[in-house]
Structure 1
Amino acid sequence: MIDLLLADDHTIFRSGIRRLLLDEPDMRVAGEARNGSEALEMVKEHRYHLVLLDINMDGRSGLEVLESIRGAAPTLPVLMLSMYPEAQYALVAVKAGANGYLPKDAEPAELVTAIRRVAAGGQYLSARAAPLVQAQLHGADERPPHQRLSTREHQIMLMLLKGLSLTQIGEEMMISVKTVSTHRTHILEKLGVASTAELVLYAVRQGLIH
Protein backbone atom coordinates (compact mmCIF):
# COMPACT_ATOMS: atom_id res chain seq x y z
CA MET A 1 0.00 0.00 0.00
CA ILE A 2 1.31 3.43 -1.00
CA ASP A 3 0.61 5.85 1.84
CA LEU A 4 0.51 9.43 0.55
CA LEU A 5 0.77 12.78 2.24
CA LEU A 6 -1.32 15.30 0.28
CA ALA A 7 -0.19 18.90 0.81
CA ASP A 8 -2.46 21.49 -0.80
CA ASP A 9 -4.17 24.60 0.55
CA HIS A 10 -7.45 23.96 -1.29
CA THR A 11 -9.89 21.75 0.59
CA ILE A 12 -11.93 20.90 -2.50
CA PHE A 13 -8.84 19.78 -4.41
CA ARG A 14 -7.70 17.55 -1.54
CA SER A 15 -11.17 16.05 -1.34
CA GLY A 16 -11.14 15.32 -5.08
CA ILE A 17 -7.78 13.57 -4.90
CA ARG A 18 -8.92 11.54 -1.90
CA ARG A 19 -12.06 10.37 -3.74
CA LEU A 20 -10.05 9.59 -6.86
CA LEU A 21 -7.65 7.34 -4.99
CA LEU A 22 -10.46 5.41 -3.28
CA ASP A 23 -10.73 3.46 -6.54
CA GLU A 24 -7.07 2.43 -6.38
CA PRO A 25 -6.48 -0.63 -4.17
CA ASP A 26 -2.75 -0.02 -3.79
CA MET A 27 -2.74 3.60 -2.61
CA ARG A 28 -4.45 5.89 -0.13
CA VAL A 29 -4.25 9.42 1.27
CA ALA A 30 -2.80 8.74 4.71
CA GLY A 31 -2.38 12.38 5.68
CA GLU A 32 -3.43 15.86 4.56
CA ALA A 33 -1.65 19.17 5.09
CA ARG A 34 -3.14 22.61 4.44
CA ASN A 35 0.19 24.40 4.22
CA GLY A 36 3.92 23.88 4.11
CA SER A 37 4.48 23.99 7.85
CA GLU A 38 1.90 21.27 8.45
CA ALA A 39 3.40 19.16 5.67
CA LEU A 40 6.88 19.35 7.12
CA GLU A 41 5.70 18.47 10.61
CA MET A 42 3.78 15.47 9.30
CA VAL A 43 6.80 14.26 7.34
CA LYS A 44 8.84 14.39 10.54
CA GLU A 45 6.21 12.61 12.64
CA HIS A 46 4.86 9.92 10.27
CA ARG A 47 6.11 7.54 7.63
CA TYR A 48 4.83 8.15 4.11
CA HIS A 49 5.76 6.53 0.83
CA LEU A 50 5.20 9.68 -1.23
CA VAL A 51 4.29 13.35 -0.87
CA LEU A 52 1.93 15.04 -3.32
CA LEU A 53 2.99 18.67 -2.96
CA ASP A 54 1.34 21.75 -4.42
CA ILE A 55 3.90 24.21 -5.70
CA ASN A 56 1.81 27.32 -5.01
CA MET A 57 0.53 27.34 -1.42
CA ASP A 58 -0.19 30.18 0.97
CA GLY A 59 2.76 31.00 3.20
CA ARG A 60 5.76 28.90 2.26
CA SER A 61 5.77 27.86 -1.39
CA GLY A 62 6.02 24.23 -2.41
CA LEU A 63 9.60 24.79 -3.52
CA GLU A 64 10.57 25.97 -0.04
CA VAL A 65 8.76 23.04 1.54
CA LEU A 66 10.50 20.66 -0.85
CA GLU A 67 13.86 22.01 0.28
CA SER A 68 12.90 21.41 3.91
CA ILE A 69 11.59 17.91 3.16
CA ARG A 70 14.88 17.08 1.48
CA GLY A 71 16.62 18.10 4.70
CA ALA A 72 14.30 16.04 6.92
CA ALA A 73 13.74 13.03 4.64
CA PRO A 74 16.25 13.04 1.76
CA THR A 75 14.95 9.89 0.06
CA LEU A 76 11.20 10.51 0.44
CA PRO A 77 9.65 10.64 -3.06
CA VAL A 78 7.94 13.96 -3.85
CA LEU A 79 5.58 14.55 -6.77
CA MET A 80 4.93 18.24 -7.38
CA LEU A 81 1.55 19.47 -8.59
CA SER A 82 0.79 22.91 -10.01
CA MET A 83 -1.95 24.90 -11.67
CA TYR A 84 0.71 26.15 -14.09
CA PRO A 85 1.88 24.32 -17.25
CA GLU A 86 5.01 22.17 -17.15
CA ALA A 87 6.92 24.74 -19.21
CA GLN A 88 6.68 27.16 -16.27
CA TYR A 89 7.95 25.05 -13.38
CA ALA A 90 8.87 21.46 -14.33
CA LEU A 91 12.61 22.07 -14.64
CA VAL A 92 12.68 24.28 -11.53
CA ALA A 93 10.95 21.53 -9.53
CA VAL A 94 13.25 18.78 -10.80
CA LYS A 95 16.38 20.83 -10.10
CA ALA A 96 15.05 21.53 -6.60
CA GLY A 97 14.84 17.80 -5.91
CA ALA A 98 11.33 16.76 -6.97
CA ASN A 99 10.91 13.24 -8.34
CA GLY A 100 8.14 14.30 -10.68
CA TYR A 101 5.92 17.15 -11.81
CA LEU A 102 2.35 17.28 -13.10
CA PRO A 103 -0.01 20.15 -13.86
CA LYS A 104 -3.29 19.98 -11.97
CA ASP A 105 -5.24 19.63 -15.21
CA ALA A 106 -3.62 16.25 -15.95
CA GLU A 107 -5.95 13.31 -16.51
CA PRO A 108 -6.68 11.23 -13.38
CA ALA A 109 -5.14 8.13 -14.96
CA GLU A 110 -1.88 10.01 -15.54
CA LEU A 111 -1.77 11.13 -11.91
CA VAL A 112 -2.22 7.52 -10.74
CA THR A 113 0.54 6.39 -13.11
CA ALA A 114 2.85 9.15 -11.84
CA ILE A 115 2.20 8.22 -8.21
CA ARG A 116 3.07 4.57 -8.83
CA ARG A 117 6.23 5.40 -10.74
CA VAL A 118 7.53 7.97 -8.27
CA ALA A 119 6.65 5.81 -5.25
CA ALA A 120 8.63 2.98 -6.85
CA GLY A 121 11.72 5.17 -6.99
CA GLY A 122 11.37 6.48 -10.52
CA GLN A 123 10.86 9.93 -11.99
CA TYR A 124 7.78 11.18 -13.78
CA LEU A 125 7.29 13.97 -16.27
CA SER A 126 4.49 14.15 -18.81
CA ALA A 127 5.12 13.39 -22.46
CA ARG A 128 5.05 17.14 -23.10
CA ALA A 129 7.43 18.08 -20.32
CA ALA A 130 10.05 15.32 -20.58
CA PRO A 131 11.71 16.41 -23.87
CA LEU A 132 11.57 20.06 -22.84
CA VAL A 133 13.28 19.39 -19.52
CA GLN A 134 15.88 17.11 -21.10
CA ALA A 135 16.73 19.76 -23.69
CA GLN A 136 17.07 22.40 -20.99
CA LEU A 137 19.27 20.17 -18.85
CA HIS A 138 21.58 19.43 -21.77
CA GLY A 139 22.22 22.94 -22.94
CA ALA A 140 19.48 23.69 -25.47
CA ASP A 141 18.19 26.41 -23.22
CA GLU A 142 15.57 28.61 -24.78
CA ARG A 143 13.70 29.27 -21.56
CA PRO A 144 12.38 32.69 -20.59
CA PRO A 145 14.49 34.54 -17.99
CA HIS A 146 12.46 33.53 -14.92
CA GLN A 147 13.10 29.85 -15.61
CA ARG A 148 16.85 30.49 -15.45
CA LEU A 149 16.74 31.69 -11.86
CA SER A 150 18.32 29.53 -9.19
CA THR A 151 15.98 27.58 -6.91
CA ARG A 152 16.54 30.10 -4.09
CA GLU A 153 15.95 33.05 -6.42
CA HIS A 154 12.79 31.40 -7.70
CA GLN A 155 11.53 30.93 -4.15
CA ILE A 156 12.18 34.58 -3.31
CA MET A 157 10.56 35.73 -6.54
CA LEU A 158 7.36 33.85 -5.63
CA MET A 159 7.36 35.44 -2.18
CA LEU A 160 7.86 38.92 -3.63
CA LEU A 161 4.93 38.27 -5.95
CA LYS A 162 2.82 37.40 -2.91
CA GLY A 163 3.58 40.84 -1.51
CA LEU A 164 5.92 39.80 1.31
CA SER A 165 8.43 42.37 2.49
CA LEU A 166 12.17 41.70 2.54
CA THR A 167 11.98 41.34 6.33
CA GLN A 168 9.13 38.83 6.11
CA ILE A 169 10.99 36.82 3.47
CA GLY A 170 14.14 36.80 5.59
CA GLU A 171 12.21 35.56 8.62
CA GLU A 172 10.42 32.90 6.57
CA MET A 173 13.62 31.61 4.96
CA MET A 174 15.80 32.22 8.04
CA ILE A 175 18.28 34.38 6.17
CA SER A 176 19.29 38.01 6.68
CA VAL A 177 17.43 40.91 5.12
CA LYS A 178 20.68 41.88 3.40
CA THR A 179 20.86 38.46 1.75
CA VAL A 180 17.24 38.74 0.63
CA SER A 181 17.94 42.19 -0.79
CA THR A 182 20.93 40.84 -2.72
CA HIS A 183 18.82 38.03 -4.17
CA ARG A 184 16.10 40.52 -5.10
CA THR A 185 18.65 42.66 -6.95
CA HIS A 186 19.88 39.62 -8.88
CA ILE A 187 16.32 38.58 -9.72
CA LEU A 188 15.43 42.00 -11.09
CA GLU A 189 18.65 42.11 -13.12
CA LYS A 190 18.10 38.65 -14.61
CA LEU A 191 14.51 39.46 -15.56
CA GLY A 192 15.37 42.88 -16.94
CA VAL A 193 13.01 44.78 -14.63
CA ALA A 194 13.71 47.71 -12.34
CA SER A 195 11.31 47.26 -9.44
CA THR A 196 8.98 44.83 -7.69
CA ALA A 197 6.06 46.53 -9.48
CA GLU A 198 7.67 45.74 -12.83
CA LEU A 199 8.34 42.21 -11.59
CA VAL A 200 4.60 41.79 -10.99
CA LEU A 201 3.85 42.99 -14.52
CA TYR A 202 6.44 40.56 -15.89
CA ALA A 203 4.85 37.72 -13.90
CA VAL A 204 1.39 38.54 -15.27
CA ARG A 205 2.68 38.59 -18.85
CA GLN A 206 4.41 35.24 -18.33
CA GLY A 207 1.37 33.63 -16.74
CA LEU A 208 3.08 33.16 -13.38
CA ILE A 209 0.23 34.92 -11.58
CA HIS A 210 -3.26 35.97 -12.56
Structure 2
Amino acid sequence: MINLLIVDDHTIFRAGIARLVADEADLHVAAEAADGTEAIALARQQAFDLVLLDINMGARNGFDTLTALRAECPRLPVIMLSMYAESQYARLALRSGANAYLSKDVDTEELLRAIRRVATGHVYMPMGVSLEPTTEIAASHESLSPREMQVMLMITRGISLTEIGEQLCLSVKTIGSHRTRILGKLGLQSNAEMVQYAMRHGFVD
Protein backbone atom coordinates (compact mmCIF):
# COMPACT_ATOMS: atom_id res chain seq x y z
CA MET A 1 0.00 0.00 0.00
CA ILE A 2 1.30 3.44 -0.99
CA ASN A 3 0.32 5.96 1.69
CA LEU A 4 -0.02 9.46 0.27
CA LEU A 5 0.22 12.92 1.80
CA ILE A 6 -1.58 15.52 -0.32
CA VAL A 7 -0.41 19.10 0.19
CA ASP A 8 -2.49 21.78 -1.53
CA ASP A 9 -4.26 24.90 -0.34
CA HIS A 10 -7.37 24.11 -2.40
CA THR A 11 -9.81 21.77 -0.65
CA ILE A 12 -11.48 20.84 -3.93
CA PHE A 13 -8.19 19.72 -5.48
CA ARG A 14 -7.31 17.58 -2.45
CA ALA A 15 -10.76 16.03 -2.54
CA GLY A 16 -10.39 15.32 -6.24
CA ILE A 17 -7.12 13.44 -5.72
CA ALA A 18 -8.68 11.48 -2.85
CA ARG A 19 -11.59 10.44 -5.07
CA LEU A 20 -9.21 9.54 -7.87
CA VAL A 21 -7.17 7.10 -5.78
CA ALA A 22 -10.12 5.69 -3.83
CA ASP A 23 -10.65 2.97 -6.44
CA GLU A 24 -6.96 2.02 -6.55
CA ALA A 25 -6.27 -0.97 -4.30
CA ASP A 26 -2.62 -0.07 -3.80
CA LEU A 27 -3.08 3.65 -3.06
CA HIS A 28 -4.35 5.36 0.09
CA VAL A 29 -4.62 9.02 1.07
CA ALA A 30 -3.22 8.83 4.58
CA ALA A 31 -3.39 12.58 5.29
CA GLU A 32 -4.02 16.01 3.77
CA ALA A 33 -2.40 19.37 4.45
CA ALA A 34 -3.52 22.83 3.39
CA ASP A 35 -0.06 24.40 3.62
CA GLY A 36 3.61 23.62 3.98
CA THR A 37 3.79 24.12 7.73
CA GLU A 38 1.00 21.60 8.28
CA ALA A 39 2.67 19.17 5.87
CA ILE A 40 5.97 19.29 7.73
CA ALA A 41 4.22 18.71 11.05
CA LEU A 42 2.43 15.67 9.61
CA ALA A 43 5.67 14.29 8.16
CA ARG A 44 7.19 14.45 11.63
CA GLN A 45 4.25 12.59 13.16
CA GLN A 46 3.76 9.70 10.74
CA ALA A 47 5.40 7.89 7.86
CA PHE A 48 4.30 8.43 4.27
CA ASP A 49 5.36 6.69 1.08
CA LEU A 50 4.91 9.71 -1.19
CA VAL A 51 3.96 13.40 -1.08
CA LEU A 52 1.92 15.18 -3.75
CA LEU A 53 3.03 18.78 -3.27
CA ASP A 54 1.53 21.90 -4.83
CA ILE A 55 4.01 24.61 -5.77
CA ASN A 56 1.78 27.65 -5.29
CA MET A 57 0.78 28.00 -1.66
CA GLY A 58 0.72 31.23 0.31
CA ALA A 59 3.04 31.63 3.27
CA ARG A 60 5.21 28.64 2.47
CA ASN A 61 5.34 27.69 -1.18
CA GLY A 62 6.07 24.24 -2.52
CA PHE A 63 9.78 24.82 -2.95
CA ASP A 64 10.18 26.09 0.61
CA THR A 65 8.17 23.10 1.84
CA LEU A 66 10.24 20.70 -0.25
CA THR A 67 13.46 22.02 1.31
CA ALA A 68 12.05 21.50 4.80
CA LEU A 69 10.74 18.03 3.95
CA ARG A 70 14.12 17.02 2.57
CA ALA A 71 15.72 18.08 5.87
CA GLU A 72 13.19 16.07 7.90
CA CYS A 73 12.71 13.07 5.59
CA PRO A 74 15.50 12.98 2.99
CA ARG A 75 14.29 9.75 1.36
CA LEU A 76 10.60 10.67 1.14
CA PRO A 77 9.52 10.73 -2.55
CA VAL A 78 7.87 13.98 -3.68
CA ILE A 79 5.87 14.79 -6.80
CA MET A 80 5.45 18.51 -7.37
CA LEU A 81 2.30 19.78 -9.07
CA SER A 82 1.29 23.12 -10.56
CA MET A 83 -0.34 24.74 -13.57
CA TYR A 84 2.99 25.90 -15.00
CA ALA A 85 4.37 24.55 -18.28
CA GLU A 86 5.94 21.14 -17.68
CA SER A 87 8.79 21.54 -20.16
CA GLN A 88 10.19 24.57 -18.37
CA TYR A 89 9.32 24.01 -14.72
CA ALA A 90 10.32 20.35 -14.53
CA ARG A 91 14.05 21.11 -14.46
CA LEU A 92 13.62 23.53 -11.59
CA ALA A 93 11.55 21.05 -9.58
CA LEU A 94 14.08 18.24 -9.97
CA ARG A 95 16.99 20.56 -9.31
CA SER A 96 15.26 21.51 -6.06
CA GLY A 97 14.99 17.89 -4.95
CA ALA A 98 11.64 16.65 -6.26
CA ASN A 99 11.32 13.18 -7.80
CA ALA A 100 8.81 14.31 -10.43
CA TYR A 101 6.96 17.32 -11.74
CA LEU A 102 3.51 17.21 -13.31
CA SER A 103 1.07 19.82 -14.50
CA LYS A 104 -2.27 19.75 -12.69
CA ASP A 105 -4.06 19.12 -15.97
CA VAL A 106 -2.27 15.79 -16.46
CA ASP A 107 -4.60 12.91 -17.25
CA THR A 108 -5.54 10.40 -14.55
CA GLU A 109 -3.58 7.48 -15.93
CA GLU A 110 -0.35 9.43 -16.12
CA LEU A 111 -0.72 10.71 -12.55
CA LEU A 112 -1.29 7.18 -11.27
CA ARG A 113 1.65 5.93 -13.30
CA ALA A 114 3.87 8.67 -11.87
CA ILE A 115 2.79 7.95 -8.29
CA ARG A 116 3.61 4.27 -8.59
CA ARG A 117 6.94 4.86 -10.27
CA VAL A 118 8.12 7.57 -7.87
CA ALA A 119 7.00 5.53 -4.85
CA THR A 120 9.44 2.80 -5.91
CA GLY A 121 12.36 5.20 -5.92
CA HIS A 122 12.43 6.39 -9.52
CA VAL A 123 12.38 9.83 -11.10
CA TYR A 124 9.40 10.37 -13.40
CA MET A 125 9.20 12.77 -16.32
CA PRO A 126 6.14 13.23 -18.54
CA MET A 127 6.35 12.04 -22.14
CA GLY A 128 8.08 14.56 -24.36
CA VAL A 129 9.62 16.61 -21.54
CA SER A 130 13.39 17.00 -21.77
CA LEU A 131 15.68 17.89 -18.89
CA GLU A 132 18.44 19.02 -21.22
CA PRO A 133 18.58 22.84 -21.26
CA THR A 134 19.59 24.82 -24.29
CA THR A 135 22.69 27.02 -24.10
CA GLU A 136 20.54 30.14 -23.73
CA ILE A 137 18.39 28.58 -21.03
CA ALA A 138 21.43 27.40 -19.12
CA ALA A 139 22.80 30.94 -19.15
CA SER A 140 19.56 32.66 -18.15
CA HIS A 141 16.51 31.40 -16.26
CA GLU A 142 18.31 28.24 -15.12
CA SER A 143 20.14 30.60 -12.76
CA LEU A 144 16.92 31.79 -11.09
CA SER A 145 16.15 30.51 -7.62
CA PRO A 146 12.79 28.74 -7.09
CA ARG A 147 11.36 31.87 -5.45
CA GLU A 148 12.63 34.10 -8.27
CA MET A 149 11.11 31.75 -10.82
CA GLN A 150 7.79 31.86 -8.99
CA VAL A 151 7.81 35.67 -8.85
CA MET A 152 8.74 35.90 -12.53
CA LEU A 153 5.87 33.65 -13.55
CA MET A 154 3.42 35.65 -11.46
CA ILE A 155 4.64 38.95 -12.94
CA THR A 156 4.32 37.61 -16.48
CA ARG A 157 0.73 36.65 -15.72
CA GLY A 158 -0.07 40.28 -14.94
CA ILE A 159 -0.17 40.00 -11.15
CA SER A 160 0.94 43.21 -9.43
CA LEU A 161 3.84 43.29 -6.98
CA THR A 162 1.40 44.10 -4.17
CA GLU A 163 -0.78 41.10 -5.02
CA ILE A 164 2.27 38.84 -5.31
CA GLY A 165 3.43 39.99 -1.90
CA GLU A 166 0.01 39.26 -0.41
CA GLN A 167 -0.14 35.79 -1.97
CA LEU A 168 3.38 34.86 -0.87
CA CYS A 169 3.13 36.65 2.49
CA LEU A 170 6.13 38.83 1.64
CA SER A 171 6.56 42.59 1.63
CA VAL A 172 6.27 44.58 -1.58
CA LYS A 173 9.88 45.64 -1.02
CA THR A 174 11.02 42.01 -0.96
CA ILE A 175 9.06 41.24 -4.13
CA GLY A 176 10.61 44.32 -5.75
CA SER A 177 14.07 43.03 -4.83
CA HIS A 178 13.25 39.68 -6.43
CA ARG A 179 12.08 41.48 -9.57
CA THR A 180 15.32 43.46 -9.76
CA ARG A 181 17.42 40.29 -9.43
CA ILE A 182 15.32 38.50 -12.05
CA LEU A 183 15.77 41.31 -14.56
CA GLY A 184 19.50 41.37 -13.88
CA LYS A 185 19.95 37.63 -14.28
CA LEU A 186 17.94 37.56 -17.51
CA GLY A 187 19.55 40.71 -18.91
CA LEU A 188 16.20 42.47 -19.22
CA GLN A 189 15.07 46.03 -18.56
CA SER A 190 11.33 45.89 -17.91
CA ASN A 191 8.29 43.74 -17.14
CA ALA A 192 7.34 43.92 -20.82
CA GLU A 193 10.66 42.36 -21.79
CA MET A 194 10.13 39.76 -19.08
CA VAL A 195 6.77 38.83 -20.61
CA GLN A 196 8.37 38.55 -24.06
CA TYR A 197 11.10 36.35 -22.62
CA ALA A 198 8.54 34.13 -20.88
CA MET A 199 6.53 33.75 -24.09
CA ARG A 200 9.66 32.95 -26.11
CA HIS A 201 10.57 30.12 -23.73
CA GLY A 202 7.09 28.69 -23.29
CA PHE A 203 6.36 29.84 -19.75
CA VAL A 204 3.17 31.59 -20.86
CA ASP A 205 0.98 31.28 -23.93
* TM-score normalised by length of structure 1: 0.77
Partners of 1:183 and 1:103 lie apart in 2 by 25
- Which of these residues, 137, 146, 156, is aligned with residue 143 of structure 1? 137
* Matched residue, 1:163: 164
Percent identical pairs in the alignment equals: 45
Worse overlay, 92-101 or 200-209: 200-209
Note if contact 2:85-2:203 (Cα within 8 Å) is conserved in structure 1: no
Q: Deviations over 1:56-109 (max 9, x none)?
A: 122221111111111111111001111122123100000000001111111101
Partners of 1:94 and 1:157 lie apart in 2 by 19
Q: Secondary structure at the match of 1:87?
A: helix
Partners of 1:40 and 1:198 lie apart in 2 by 38
Unmatched segments (≥5 aa) in structure 2: none
Partners of 2:204 and 2:62 lie apart in 1 by 15
Q: Deviations over 1:116-164 (max 9, x none)?
A: 11111111011121xx21x22xxx4343943441345435657886522
Query: Quick one: which amino acid aligns to residue 192 of structure 1?
Result: G
Q: Secondary structure at the match of 2:165?
A: coil
Q: Secondary structure at the match of 1:163?
A: helix
Cα RMSD (Å) of the superposition? 3.1
Partners of 1:61 and 1:75 lie apart in 2 by 20
Query: Quick one: which amino acid aligns to residue 164 of structure 2?
Result: G
* TM-score normalised by length of structure 2: 0.79
* Matched residue, 1:22: 22
Alignment of 1:174-185 (within 5 A): 185=180
* RCO comparison, higher one (Cα < 8 Å, 6+): 2
Note if contact 1:156-1:169 (Cα within 8 Å) is conserved in structure 2: no
The alpha carbon displacement at 1:36 in A equals 1.4
Q: Secondary structure at the match of 1:76?
A: coil
* Matched residue, 2:48: 48
Unmatched segments (≥5 aa) in structure 1: 171-176
Note if contact 1:50-1:119 (Cα within 8 Å) is conserved in structure 2: yes
Aligned residues: 194
Note if contact 1:6-1:51 (Cα within 8 Å) is conserved in structure 2: yes
The change in CA–CA distance for 1:183 and 1:57 in structure 2 (over 3 A counts) is closer
Query: Quick one: which amino acid aligns to residue 165 of structure 2?
Result: L
Note if contact 2:85-2:204 (Cα within 8 Å) is conserved in structure 1: no
* Matched residue, 1:174: none
Structure 1: which 4+ aligned runs deviate by more than 6 Å? 158-161
Partners of 2:179 and 2:27 lie apart in 1 by 42
Note if contact 1:2-1:28 (Cα within 8 Å) is conserved in structure 2: yes
Alignment of 1:58-77 (within 5 A): 58-77=58-77
- Which of these residues, 149, 155, 159, is aligned with residue 154 of structure 1? 149
Partners of 2:125 and 2:154 lie apart in 1 by 26
Note if contact 1:4-1:31 (Cα within 8 Å) is conserved in structure 2: yes
